[in-house]
Copies of this chain bind each other. A is one copy, B any other.
Amino acid sequence: MPEMTYRQALHDALREEMQRDPNVFLLGEEIGIFGGSYKVTEGLIDEFGPQRVLETPISEGGIIGLATGASMTGLRPVAEIMTINFIVVGMDQLVNNAAKIPYMFGGEAKAPIVIRTPSGAGHQLASQHSQVLESWFAYVPGMYVIAPSTPADAKGLLKASIRDDNPILFVENVLLYNEKGEVPEGEHILPLGKADVKREGEDITLIAYSRAVHMALAAADALAEQGISAEVVDLRSLRPLDIETVVSSVRKTNHAIVLHEGWKRYGAGAEIAAEIQEHAFDDLDHPVERITGAEVPLPYATSLERAALPRVEDVVMRAAFILGRDKVGV
């Protein structure tokens, strides 16, 4: 299998789907000549022209509305919102229109849009540019919220999203674009709403999505050295949520930590913890714990930024403690 970056995998998915289906088009700020803020769409305007790679003004509501309206007429728009922080400006179109159109019109309409956007902290991007907001959209029935962690998943899930008939928020991650991984050759499509066990283990389940999956895997490595076998479940989708896979894992390991970027209170991890305790109550030897970012707007200074972000060490330490392998306690 060829190795490529997460960026390249997304790029290839877009390109292949545009080649396959003339109704697929891209829109967003700076996605043409500029190549996209994170360069995912680089070169596509040369191949497909400005009609299918539509550059827009700084009007996030207009972008999502354009996508939704076009999708109601049969097109398959894929919009890029430069970062998830800016979606707040246009989210009315996503939440009050796209997510509701199929249902509130009694099945008479569809809104097959994909909104791609990176979430998460970069390096010192500070409080208005470092947010993790996807759980807001995962709260909304009518939406799908997909969030791949690897290049292979990025490609397979983006292609599936573009072919799917539901409105989809496709969450990328600022710090994953340069991550490399193997991607299957040929047509590679993954099912939406299916979690993936990224590493098998016996003692504790680490549940994560997007970039936090890599932290979970790193923690699992470190735990292995301590003789602890951690299973890593990558949710891949916040809605639909494949809680069955999570619960099955916890029924086996009897311990769980949920790990994600962003804030703890009312964050995505709360839902996972609530569901685990509900569906695997008697299997749990210890409460489900959550490890997340600190509850502050992300500060600019590196010293504070570091202190505010979740750390692999914390996962290792808590896992060891939960399993009683930590002599010191916390």
Contacts and interface: CB of A to CB of B under 8 A. Distances in A.
Given A88-B95, A136-B136, A277 B266 contact: no
Contacts of A266: 135-136, 138-139, 238-239, 266, 268, 270-271
A246 to B, nearest CB: 13
Contact of A91 (B91, B267, B299): B91
A23 B235 CA distance: 49
A103 B296 contact: yes
A245 B62 CA distance: 45
Interface string A76-119: 00000000010011011001100110011000000000000000
Contacts of A278: 273, 287-290
B99 A141 contact: no
Sort A-B residue pairs by CB-CB distance and give the 3 closest, nearest first.
Answer: A273-B274, A139-B266, A270-B270
Protomer copies: 2
A85 to B, nearest CB: 7
Contacts of A267: 139
Interface residues of A, number: 49
Interface string A286-305: 11111000011101100000
B91 A295 contact: no
A288 B280 CA distance: 11
Contact of A239 (B265, B268, B281): B265
A178 interface: no
- The winner among A271, A281, A299 for most chain B CB atoms within 10 A is A271
Contact of A241 (B91, B99, B100, B265): B265
A285 to B, nearest CB: 10
A96 B128 contact: yes
A314 to B, nearest CB: 15
A128 B141 contact: no
A6 interface: no
A241 B270 CA distance: 14
A40 to B, nearest CB: 24
A128 B93 CA distance: 11
B265 A99 contact: no
Contacts of A268: 266
